[in-house]
Chain A
Amino acid sequence: MIRDPKDLKRYDASERANHWTVGISFILLALSGLAFFHPAFFPLTQLFGGPTWARIIHPYIGAIMALAFVVIFFRFKHLNKMTPADKEWLAKAKNMVDGNDHDMPEQGKYNGGQKVMFWALAVCMLLMTLSGLAIWRAWFGFDITVVRFGAVVHAAAGAVMIALIMVHVYAAIWVKGTIRAMWYGTVTRGWAKQHHRGWYRQVTGK
């Protein structure tokens, strides 16, 4: 990858570190969580030093992720306010998926899809945290109905969240030039102009 001084700064170092804290936590949580989600994934517990360790570690990583997510949430909340342009973008999202992004409406730093993702993940994260606490037997002893409810919510929200993150990751892979924003913090001007023209204008003044 050739880094060009004219590349545009999209994320500073602190934001990137924050993102990857969440990201790594998520990967560990997803792997260990899936292991308890369905027997087919149980062997994943070996990645954590065996099933008991997986059970012990999982909630602590969850706590880390929850804290890191709170920081990210408040960092980017104001950038994720939905606008009419986002709704228009969402209405045309099918074209985008089909690879036909020429007549997508002009987007700011985040497009409508990313904003929906942001809020969906925030909701999931809230549910995961609360339900996770409800079923964390090492520290808490809630009423059995609460625990049962927590177990269902945790599993359901977890599945949704994994699906969302898969979409998130795939989108980053699919849209070339995206991942470097989280590696180096910069994107090419071309990338910005094509995908986030509003933001491009804002940062370049053009």
Chain B
Amino acid sequence: MALQSLDIKQRSATTTPSTQVRQTVEVAKLIDVSACIGCKACQVACSEWNDIRDEVGHCHGVYDNPVDLTAKSWTVMRFTEVEQSNKLEWLIRKDGCMHCSDPGCLKACPAPGAIIQYSNGIVDFHQENCIGCGYCVTGCPFNVPRISKEDSKAYKCSLCSDRVAVNQAPACAKACPTGAIQFGSKEDMTDYAAKRVTDLKERGYDKAGLYDPQGVGGTHVMYVLHHADQPELYAGLPANPSISPLVSLWKGFAKPLATLALAGVALGSLFHYVTKGPNEVSKEIEDEIEREDSEKEGAQ
């Protein structure tokens, strides 16, 4: 949202480095799925802090509501019923922006400064610079940004960058009644997650683990999962997310090369002209035509 007094690590559609001199502590939100009861207090807190109200929808035959992320719902709980080896589980995952270290949205964005990554790791959309092209949606490996139907701008969780800037935890973490949402330095959150994983392993979840996918350079929203070996169980959380190779191709090295190539064509043409000169109708042909004309006139 608004610019914060946070140091900027990178900025969309900007080819020169952003401020690099000062380092702030990398932060992270840790969502302990094993302690989450799906109460949606985080959804409410998000709506209230950010002053957004989605439509009153319908029941779609599931507990999920709103049924998907929207420009006005930046986080939603996703409920999945899983039955494996005769054991039923109701897996409830808070979905929203993962704040990747290597953010696909930022990479894809063509508008300078519409997407900012702060040095604390938060990836933030600055809607005043957003042009509404939806390239961020194309770039995101987690299918998070949503384009508003009202203003055509992209919206998503800001990790409450405004709160974090003044040393407050994000609204969702503040509101979470069970402490399933923790917030702090990424290092602390990783340590805390390790404790939770140990506890889960003692309770028989042999494959419990931390979800901090390296394919996107790690994330600043992490999950403790009982089944870290099967993240897809949690409403399709990708197992190995990375920026799509198509997006990398599109937004990676190809573009500077293509730009150079175009410049080459332009310059090549110019130098061709000044070295070879223009291609004009030759004197002989002009003369031939003139001759023909005078013959014709003479014939009359």
Chain A residues with a Cβ under 8 A of chain B: 6, 35-42, 45, 51-52, 54-56, 97-99, 101, 135, 137-138, 144-145, 147-149, 151-152, 155-156, 159, 162-163, 166-167, 170, 173-177, 188-191, 193-194, 206
Contacts and interface: CB of A to CB of B under 8 A. Distances in A.
A152 B249 contact: yes
Interface residues of B, number: 47
Given A137-B147, A170-B272, A148 B285 contact: no
Interface in B113-148: 131-135, 137-138, 143, 147
Interface of B: 13-15, 108, 110-112, 131-135, 137-138, 143, 147, 152, 244, 246-247, 249-250, 254-256, 258-259, 261-262, 265-266, 269, 272-273, 276-282, 285-286, 288-289, 292-293
A97 B137 CA distance: 45
A194 B281 contact: yes
B250 A39 contact: no
B106 to A, nearest CB: 12
A55 B110 CA distance: 10
Contacts of A151: 108, 135, 138, 246-247, 250
A190 B286 contact: yes
Given A144-B143, A159-B261, A170 B131 contact: no
A8 to B, nearest CB: 11
Contacts of B265: 163, 166-167
B133 to A, nearest CB: 5
Contact of B281 (A54, A152, A173, A188): A188
A23 to B, nearest CB: 17
B272 A40 contact: no
A145 B140 CA distance: 11
A144 B138 contact: yes
B132 A52 contact: yes
Q: Most chain-B Cβ atoms within 10 A of its Cβ — which of A35, A39, A40, A155?
A: A39
Contacts of A162: 262
Nearest to B246: A148
Q: Most chain-B Cβ atoms within 10 A of its Cβ — which of A56, A162, A190?
A: A190
Given A40-B15, A155-B250, A174-B272, 8 more contacts: A39-B110, A42-B112, A99-B277, A137-B134, A162-B262, A163-B265, A176-B281, A190-B288
A92 to B, nearest CB: 15
A190 B287 CA distance: 9
Q: Most chain-B Cβ atoms within 10 A of its Cβ — which of A56, A148, A206?
A: A148
A65 to B, nearest CB: 19
Nearest to B147: A137
A163 B262 contact: yes
Contacts of A156: 254, 258
A173 B273 contact: yes
Given A177-B281, A194-B281, A194-B285, A52 B259 contact: no
B279 A163 contact: no
A61 to B, nearest CB: 15
A173 B280 CA distance: 10
A54 B15 contact: no
Contact of B269 (A36, A51, A170, A191): A170
B285 A174 contact: no
Contacts of A37: 110, 255, 258-259
Nearest to B296: A6
A147 to B, nearest CB: 5
Given A40-B15, A137-B134, A151-B135, A190 B272 contact: no
A155 B247 CA distance: 11
A55 B114 CA distance: 14
17 contacts: A37-B110, A38-B255, A38-B259, A52-B131, A55-B132, A56-B132, A135-B138, A144-B137, A145-B246, A152-B249, A155-B250, A166-B262, A166-B265, A167-B265, A174-B273, A177-B280, A188-B281
Given A148-B246, A152-B250, A193 B110 contact: no
Nearest to B278: A176
A152 B246 CA distance: 6
Q: Most chain-A Cβ atoms within 10 A of its Cβ — which of B137, B138, B266?
A: B138
Q: Most chain-B Cβ atoms within 10 A of its Cβ — which of A6, A135, A189?
A: A189
Contacts of A174: 269, 272-273, 278-279
A156 to B, nearest CB: 7
B110 A36 contact: yes
Nearest to B11: A39
Nearest to B273: A174
